[in-house]
Structure 1
Amino acid sequence: MKKVLLVGIMLIASISAKAQSYIGYLTDNYSGVNSVISNPANIADSRFKTDINLVGASAFLANDYIGVGFSELVSSDFDYDTDANLMLSSNNNFSGNVDILGPSFMFNVGRTSSIAVFTRARSFVTGNEFNGESLDDLDDSIDESQDFIVNEGDFFASGHGWAEAGLTYAQELMNKEEHFLKGGLSLKYLKGFGNAYVTGRNVTIDYDADGATLPDSSTIGTLESTGDLIYGRADDYDDDNYEYEVPNAKGFGVDLGFVYEWRPNYEDYVVTGADGEKTVMKDKNKYKLKLGLSLTDIGSVNYKGSLIDNYNINNTITQDDYDNIEDSDDLQNLYTFTQATEDMKAGLPTALHFNADWNIKSNFYLNFNTDLSMRSAGENVLRTANVFSLTPRFESKWFSFYLPVSSYQYNGLQIGAGLRAGPLYIGSGSLISTFTKNEIQGADVYAGLKIPVYYGRPKDSDGDGIPNKEDGCPKKAGPIENNGCPWGDTDGDSVMDNEDKCPEEAGPVENNGCPWGDTDGDTILDNEDQCPDEAGPVENNGCPWADSDGDSVIDKDDECPNEMGTVANNGCPEPVVTAEVQKSLNEYAKTILFTTGKSTLKDESTPVLVDIIGILNEYPNANFTIEGHTDSIGSEATNQKLSEKRAQAVLQFLITGGISPSRLTAIGYGESKPIATNMYKDGRQKNRRVEINLAQ
């Protein structure tokens, strides 16, 4: 050791912290087994049948103490004093890590769970709370013989290397179509390769350029210091032979995570087999929004029999003492030194991760990720810095491209780029920033090879949405309900059997494939029958004739369809024989003439009788009596016979003229019903008469 250990550590530990791995790549749904690093739940319902990682490596180093331009850094004449830009503060930090993912693989166990086995080697260094403002000037002040005071206080630096062998189990916890939740747990066996730390407690250094007077009266600088330095390490390194043995160190770690997916278009990713069983597509991302939450690196490695050196540096030494320090033995001669052997526990860099992934459209995504350290700076503590990343990406099965934009605690904005092409993944979270920023405060890079075995979409040759292995007709499109086969047309009527209500009997499309029937049996088919449930004649389009007035005479025969009548009168109401009609009949009857003393009708009576027939026809349902009367001349018996014969003569004429015999009755009254006196000629003429009266 060329300089005092304290000063050496302070000069080294002047930088700031972040230790993320595979930046950008782990947001990819096709990162496979690698994704267990950030969230063990990721491998459930993944896009892989299996995924085998051959090797992957990620390296990261960053700080908030020094910045260097890329062109100066690669220049052959780079000079730290002139080309480096120091960003000094009372709280400078640093961190670096190397993360190697060795042979690892994942596979699915049934439809809802997955298992991963992974190997990993990691090394990690961090430093926190160093007073960079004071430390940068310490050596210069001593060399230039200038007074200087360093009030360092507490500071921490630690380094750890270990290997992991992990087993991850992930399981679907909820699948309610639109809402999906999965969880995962990783158990890790840890094997320590080495651990060391340096802690300063209440450290101060006061350099006085003329602090001591030599015997020759010249002066020399003095270095007055206070506080404690603690140096702990695994005691498996032989300083003399430079041989390293793997220490007796092991431990266990746990990672725990959950992922929620919102799947508003869930039905678009469901395939229904011919048996009706629904299967969700494994080869497709189904979410519009995905939220992940995980807690990683819970645990520690226990180093048995480690050495803990304690230097109490409350002393004043000269500049010559300072310049002659070569190793820790020289420090032990200058300061109070104690050493203890005890077990040393190196905690893992526990961190909380939140991830939100938005499927903008099709293959384009926008990811927001944050990593928050769950450990505070302290003795032998590894901690990540808080980081916020926004990563747009294009993602497909065989190719993805990422453009992460990240804001790191202590280190500002970084822009990177990465890609995945089949088995290769490569990238950097700071690639663009490295070539564009004037000051590089950190850089990272990752690369790896794997063997991905993706889920393919079930083959569907006919494009009917039913996989060939479940399709009864894999080369002909058909509906699920017909086992993936097209519907047939058994009866050849152009109506498919699934819509044909009479699949084995030809019929027109408009009757759902059934032949037209004759429901009412009126010989008119139902498609032409305007009254298919009521029998009716052809001339009335299959409907029964109506009887609007309900007189049992159908309208077509009813001469008075809106007025109730009789069948005999063609549906019209019967005329009523009024007193005027009766009088008219009798006026006609008085003019009927007979041959004197006989029942023979005179010819001049014919017109009168014809008119009477006309009147009787107007009342077809009325019955009449024909009454014969005589005067009193002659014997009563003779007059009776004469009256009867004359009534019969008129009745016969009327029957001959078309009047129904059933309507007529002939009666002779002789001289029994005179209407005038028979004493005079005029009266006797009135009594000789024929009357036609309405039968009561």
Structure 2
Amino acid sequence: MKKLFFLLCIILSAHFTNAQSYIGFLTDNYSGVHGVISNPANITDSRFKTDVNLVGASVLFANDYYGIKLSDVTSGDFDFEEDATKNPSNSNNIFGNVDVLGPAFMFNLDKKSSIAVFSRMRVNYNINEINGETYESISNDFDETEDFNVNEEDYYLTGNAWAEIGITYARTIYNKEQHFLKGGVSLKYLQGLGNAYTSGKDVTIDYDADGSNLGGGVTTGSITTTGEVNYGHSDNIDGNFEDFDLEIIDGAKGFGLDLGFVYEYRPDFASYNSTDSDGNIYGRKDKNKYKFKFGLSITDIGSIKYKNGTANTYDINGTINEDDFENEENFEDVLNNLYREINSGLSTKAMLPTALHLNADWNMLKKFYLNLNTDLSLSSNSKENTNRIANIVSLTPRFESKGFSFYMPLSLIQGSGFQWGAGFRAGPLYIGSGSILSLLTSNDSKAADVYLGLKIPITQKSPKDKDGDGVTNKQDKCPKVAGPIENSGCPWEDTDRDTVLDKDDQCPEEAGPVENSGCPWKDTDGDTVLDKDDQCPEEAGLPENSGCLYKDTDGDTIYDEEDKCPEEAGPTENNGCPWKDTDGDTILDKDDQCPNTAGTAANNGCPEVTETVQKTLNNYAKTILFNTGKTSIKVESTTALIEIIQILKEYPNAKFSVEGHTDSIGSAVNNQKLSENRANSVKDFLIEKGIDSSRLSAVGYGETKPIATNMYKDGREQNRRVEINLVK
């Protein structure tokens, strides 16, 4: 009955292999050389100087038929047939893989590029879409087995084992401010270790428990099949899949290719950069700098050609006896001895499980991250001898640091459902499982995986800054004394101790004030007045004159600063200005009592009243008429008075006496009084019209100074007069 079950496993399988390896661990920025598994770009700009993997293995088994409780399995006496929960359906699946990363290492070539060399062994298998009810039937004894029928139509199955030796090169492509992009490629030499596949067309299997009578009352079952089956395998497989060993096969070789890119968004890029004294920018190599990281890669492009492999096609239309089936030693004998071979060949070609990987990583807070990863198969599910991965989506929160990381992946795996796991990395040890928490908490777990390994991680060192000045010891020319970046971490010196640092001091070896850029103030002309205060810095002068000499432009012995006429010589008593002679009478204004009117020296610069002028005055004065017996001046005398005023103004400093005279008619007393009053009337008129009162005096002589006889009328008229005489 086991051969019948194995026949069903081969015929009814489809391949979901190479499920995610090292679930959770590959999200870690400290996974090191393991990063080439999912994306070859991961190894450059990494947190490692070098990373050496000693050995690591990841094993996964998943199905949707058996459900177990982990505590029952580990109790010691557990039987799958008796104790496991069974979930039969029309399409049950079983698949698994082993992924061993052997000796591998990575290191940095320079600041922008890295290289890795790795060895790897991989085994993939699965059983897919088996009818669970059928499996329950054939797993029992024949006597208890009932008839069953399976209509499988077309199917494809592939199992493959191979070893890889690969080299990876990764390089920074773009690094500017907050944007960073790197890419990588892995070239892999593939060595086949074993391969088997089968595919079918329009396949059905009908088992009749009472189908054949062997005589003597003995009845055995019959197996009726229809369709066409393709079957191929490498030359180290003889048809008995239970006993073959993995081994290097001559002529089983191939090549593979992985390509990948990683973009990082670094909004705080500046906080990770420093500038040395030469202006070169260097960044922290020991820190993740991104807020968001996005990865895209395609892996396992290629194939392995088994040159000595066997590939046959069989017509399985017909009915065979169950006993005949049981008598055959292996599955290949069943096909060769019980069915008709319609085609045969000597070569098989196993395609790698080409896949697309999308990865997004979010640095939520310092050392806490959240990763979203999707693995999608790019291989056709209807192409024979082609490996395929199971599509998977994983959400993994993690804590990450240089020495320790912890992750808890939550995954949805095609054909296996939800998985919850945990893992950690501690120094050289990494261990974990993508399903351990599901196994611990569920009574019906259908998947199990585990990975474990040891490596020698040599991480980038944190830059040391012994003096705490922000310049790392490697870049610091004074690592024990704090100093600015622009001076290579050394403090600025103050050679002359004037409190102005040498970098700002224009006279670093000579003390000077801050306001003069550390230079002492100069006294170019040596006059004890510093140049900063000296208005004549190149000519010695006097401190009280801001360092300048007093000038005497006009040579009058009076300095220009005090000379009101600096360009014209003049005496000291006139503030350096020459005395003026405004009226041009050769008598200086300072001595001229009439500076605006030309005069004579004898008259102190004032014009002299000549006899002619005196006569003219009196001629006008004699024409002044008074009302009879009164002191009031007649109107018709106004013209004569105006003329008198004009003459008086021409001699502004001359003083005049207005003299009144009468005839002898009347009493001498009255005549005296009348003469005085009339003299005062003329004086008052002149003062009223602008003549200074200090220049005028009035006097009356009555009848005492006649100029003609009073005996006659003409004589008396001449005696009644007013005279204006110069007071000498």
Fold-level similarity (TM above 0.5): yes
- Structure 2 vs 1, CA of residues 407 and 62 (structure 1 numbering), >3 Å: closer, same or farther? same
Which whole-Å CA distance do the structure 2 matches of 1:435 and 1:619 have between them? 132
Q: Which residue of 2 aligns with 1:112?
A: 112
- Structure 2 vs 1, CA of residues 16 and 52 (structure 1 numbering), >3 Å: closer, same or farther? closer
Which of 406, 412, 421 is residue 426 of structure 2 equivalent to? Answer: 421
Residue 301 of structure 1: how far off its partner (Å):
1.0
- Structure 2 vs 1, CA of residues 437 and 416 (structure 1 numbering), >3 Å: closer, same or farther? same
CA contact 2:202–2:226 (8 Å) conserved in 1 = yes
The two structures have a TM-score, normalised by structure 2, of 0.72
- 2:438 pairs with 1:433: yes
CA contact 1:499–1:512 (8 Å) conserved in 2 = yes
SS at match of 1:62: strand
Q: Which residue of 1 aligns with 2:265?
A: 262
Q: What letter is aligned with 2:490?
A: C
Percent of pairs with identical residues: 54
- Structure 2 vs 1, CA of residues 124 and 429 (structure 1 numbering), >3 Å: closer, same or farther? same
CA contact 1:357–1:366 (8 Å) conserved in 2 = yes
Q: Which residue of 2 aligns with 1:493?
A: 498
Q: 287-296 vs 464-473, which deviates more?
A: 464-473
Which whole-Å CA distance do the structure 2 matches of 1:262 and 1:503 have between them? 46
Residue 343 of structure 1: how far off its partner (Å):
0.9
Which whole-Å CA distance do the structure 2 matches of 1:75 and 1:620 have between them? 145
CA contact 1:307–1:339 (8 Å) conserved in 2 = no
SS at match of 2:418: strand
Q: Deviations over 1:31-51 (max 9, x none)?
A: 111111111111111222221
Q: How does 1:287-306 map to 2 (within 5 A)?
A: 287-306=290-309
Q: Which residue of 2 aligns with 1:353?
A: 357
Which whole-Å CA distance do the structure 2 matches of 1:393 and 1:44 have between them? 22
CA contact 2:212–2:222 (8 Å) conserved in 1 = yes
Residue 91 of structure 1: how far off its partner (Å):
3.3
State which structure, 1 or 2, has the greater radius of gyration over its C-alpha atoms: 2
Which whole-Å CA distance do the structure 1 matches of 2:284 and 2:340 have between them? 70
Q: Deviations over 1:482-532 (max 9, x none)?
A: 3432112233222323344554554444565455789999998899999x9
Residue 15 of structure 1: how far off its partner (Å):
9.5
SS at match of 2:307: strand
Q: What letter is aligned with 2:440?
A: F
Which whole-Å CA distance do the structure 2 matches of 1:364 and 1:324 have between them? 61
- Structure 2 vs 1, CA of residues 464 and 207 (structure 1 numbering), >3 Å: closer, same or farther? same
Which whole-Å CA distance do the structure 2 matches of 1:621 and 1:216 have between them? 182
Residue 72 of structure 1: how far off its partner (Å):
2.6
- Structure 2 vs 1, CA of residues 216 and 28 (structure 1 numbering), >3 Å: closer, same or farther? closer
- Structure 2 vs 1, CA of residues 229 and 143 (structure 1 numbering), >3 Å: closer, same or farther? farther
Structure 2, unpaired ranges of 5+: 548-559, 565-572, 584-588, 623-704, 708-718
Which whole-Å CA distance do the structure 2 matches of 1:514 and 1:107 have between them? 55
Q: Deviations over 1:398-422 (max 9, x none)?
A: 2111111111112222111111111
Q: Which residue of 1 aligns with 2:346?
A: 342
Q: How does 1:289-688 map to 2 (within 5 A)?
A: 289-321=292-324, 324=327, 326-328=329-331, 329=333, 332-337=336-341, 340-378=344-382, 379-500=384-505, 503-509=508-514, 513=518, 622-623=595-596, 648=602, 651=603, 664-665=605-606, 667=608, 669-670=610-611, 672-674=613-615, 675-677=617-619, 686-688=723-725
Q: What letter is aligned with 2:248?
A: V
Q: Which residue of 1 aligns with 2:281?
A: 278
Residue 117 of structure 1: how far off its partner (Å):
0.9
Q: What letter is aligned with 1:181?
A: L
SS at match of 1:686: strand
Which whole-Å CA distance do the structure 2 matches of 1:405 and 1:213 have between them? 56
Residue 107 of structure 1: how far off its partner (Å):
1.6
- Structure 2 vs 1, CA of residues 209 and 454 (structure 1 numbering), >3 Å: closer, same or farther? closer
Which whole-Å CA distance do the structure 2 matches of 1:18 and 1:283 have between them? 33
Q: What letter is aligned with 1:466?
A: V
Which whole-Å CA distance do the structure 1 matches of 2:197 and 2:277 have between them? 65
- Structure 2 vs 1, CA of residues 492 and 621 (structure 1 numbering), >3 Å: closer, same or farther? farther
SS at match of 2:614: coil
Residue 327 of structure 1: how far off its partner (Å):
3.7
Q: Which residue of 2 aligns with 1:563?
A: none
Q: Which residue of 2 aligns with 1:204?
A: 204
CA contact 1:44–1:113 (8 Å) conserved in 2 = yes
Which whole-Å CA distance do the structure 2 matches of 1:145 and 1:426 have between them? 44
SS at match of 2:126: strand
Which whole-Å CA distance do the structure 2 matches of 1:266 and 1:242 have between them? 56
Which whole-Å CA distance do the structure 2 matches of 1:146 and 1:370 have between them? 43
Residue 676 of structure 1: how far off its partner (Å):
1.6
- Structure 2 vs 1, CA of residues 277 and 252 (structure 1 numbering), >3 Å: closer, same or farther? same
Q: Deviations over 1:54-89 (max 9, x none)?
A: 111111111223221212323444343443233334
Which whole-Å CA distance do the structure 1 matches of 2:496 and 2:451 have between them? 69
SS at match of 1:254: strand
Which whole-Å CA distance do the structure 1 matches of 2:217 and 2:135 have between them? 31
Which whole-Å CA distance do the structure 2 matches of 1:270 and 1:495 have between them? 30
The two structures have a TM-score, normalised by structure 1, of 0.75
Q: What letter is aligned with 2:53?
A: N
- Structure 2 vs 1, CA of residues 92 and 209 (structure 1 numbering), >3 Å: closer, same or farther? closer
- Structure 2 vs 1, CA of residues 90 and 16 (structure 1 numbering), >3 Å: closer, same or farther? farther
Q: 286-295 vs 2-11, which deviates more?
A: 2-11
CA contact 1:58–1:446 (8 Å) conserved in 2 = yes
CA contact 1:350–1:373 (8 Å) conserved in 2 = yes
Which whole-Å CA distance do the structure 1 matches of 2:115 and 2:297 have between them? 17
- Structure 2 vs 1, CA of residues 374 and 133 (structure 1 numbering), >3 Å: closer, same or farther? farther
Residue 254 of structure 1: how far off its partner (Å):
0.7
Which whole-Å CA distance do the structure 2 matches of 1:243 and 1:24 have between them? 31
SS at match of 2:346: strand
SS at match of 1:301: strand
Q: What letter is aligned with 1:486?
A: P
SS at match of 2:412: strand
SS at match of 2:308: strand
Q: How does 1:213-292 map to 2 (within 5 A)?
A: 221-237=221-237, 246-248=248-250, 249-292=252-295
Which whole-Å CA distance do the structure 2 matches of 1:219 and 1:458 have between them? 83
Which whole-Å CA distance do the structure 1 matches of 2:148 and 2:303 have between them? 41
Q: What letter is aligned with 1:365?
A: Y
CA contact 2:11–2:199 (8 Å) conserved in 1 = no
Q: What letter is aligned with 2:166?
A: G
Q: What letter is aligned with 1:376?
A: S
SS at match of 1:478: coil
Residue 223 of structure 1: how far off its partner (Å):
3.1
CA contact 1:17–1:63 (8 Å) conserved in 2 = no
SS at match of 2:271: helix
Q: What letter is aligned with 2:723?
A: K
Q: How does 1:130-149 map to 2 (within 5 A)?
A: 130-138=130-138, 143-144=143-144, 146-149=146-149
Q: What letter is aligned with 1:368?
A: L
Residue 457 of structure 1: how far off its partner (Å):
3.2
Which whole-Å CA distance do the structure 2 matches of 1:194 and 1:278 have between them? 53
Residue 22 of structure 1: how far off its partner (Å):
1.1
Q: Deviations over 1:596-619 (max 9, x none)?
A: xxxxxxxxxxxxxxxxxxxx9999
- Structure 2 vs 1, CA of residues 112 and 18 (structure 1 numbering), >3 Å: closer, same or farther? closer
- Structure 2 vs 1, CA of residues 99 and 6 (structure 1 numbering), >3 Å: closer, same or farther? closer
Residue 237 of structure 1: how far off its partner (Å):
4.6
Q: What letter is aligned with 2:49?
A: K
RMSD (Å), alpha carbons: 4.3
Which whole-Å CA distance do the structure 2 matches of 1:619 and 1:413 have between them? 128
